[in-house]
Every structure is written in C-alpha cells, then in structure tokens.
Amino acid sequence: MPEKRKLSAFARFSSAGIQMGVIIALFTWLGTWLDGKYHTTTPWFTIGLSLFGVISALVIIIREVIQMSKDDEKK
C-alpha cells in the first residue's frame, strides 16, 4: 500500500473517531437535558439516547469501512 493511501486511510479513520465521539456526546447531552426538563427520577432519556448515539455512530463507522473496502477493490 503506497504511503499516500495509508495516510488517507488514517485521516478517514481519525475523522470517523471524532465524528463518533461528537454523535455520542450530542445524544447524551440531549438525554441529560430532557431528563432535567421533565424531572425524571431515573435518567431514561440519558440512557436511551446515549445508547442510540452509540448504535448510530457504529452504523456510520461500519458503512464507512464497507465503502472504503469497496473503494480499495476498485483500485
């Protein structure tokens, strides 16, 4: 694998990690905000939305890896 393609793959995975962290953080923040707004005794919004954020981020990462694999096969 040429050095340029290795660097490109590294950049894509680095940005994917940042994107994953941002998605999870935003959904968790939204859950805590909703729990505060509705004064829930158990933080169900935080739990549910943070899990949704993790699952969403994983789906995005898996799709990107599949796309990268298809791009490598074409080359």
pLDDT at 8: 75
pLDDT in tens, 28-69: 999 999 999 999 999 999 999 999 999 999 999 999 889 888
| Higher pLDDT pick, 50 / 5 | 50
Do residues 43 and 35 touch, judged by C-beta distance below 8 A?
yes
Q: Which residues of 48-75 are buried (b: 16+ CB within 10 A; e: fewer)?
A: ebbebbeeebeeebeeeeeeeeeeeeee
**pLDDT at position 14 over 90:** no
